[in-house]
């Protein structure tokens, strides 16, 4: 999954978002906020947030077959806690929760 293009998509989007955000905070604390930083803070999120969310969703989607086949992080019955958890289903519910 780490080699998927979607990983690069969300890492780049969130990295740029954080660089802009913390640059904005730093310059604001110094009382010297350049217009470019202010513009980037309030404009680029329009592109970067959907890119980041899309990258996350595509990465989760790409991981689903592996998670289902391997049973990754899943707990099946019977066990001493009488509890089961299906990580595959949980990931699908997480993806659905992204819908506004």
Dist. CA 2–CA 6, nearest whole Å: 9
Query: Catalytic residue at 56?
Result: yes
Catalytic residue among 22, 25, 49, 98: 49
Could you confirm whether 18 is annotated as catalytic? no
Tell me the three state secondary structure of residue 75.
strand
Distance CA 33, CA 61 (A): 40
Give catalytic residues, as residue numbers.
Answer: 49, 56
């Amino acid at each position: 999954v780490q080699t998927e293009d979607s990983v690069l998509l969300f890492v780049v989007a969130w990295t740029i978002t954080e660089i802009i955000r913390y640059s904005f905070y730093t310059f604001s604390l110094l009382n010297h906020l350049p217009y470019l930083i202010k513009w980037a803070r309030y404009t680029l999120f329009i592109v970067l947030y959907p890119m980041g969310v899309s990258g996350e969703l595509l990465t989760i989607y790409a991981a689903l077959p592996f998670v289902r086949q391997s049973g990754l992080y899943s707990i099946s019955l019977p066990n001493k806690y009488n509890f089961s958890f299906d990580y595959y289903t949980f990931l699908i519910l997480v993806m659905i929760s992204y819908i506004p």
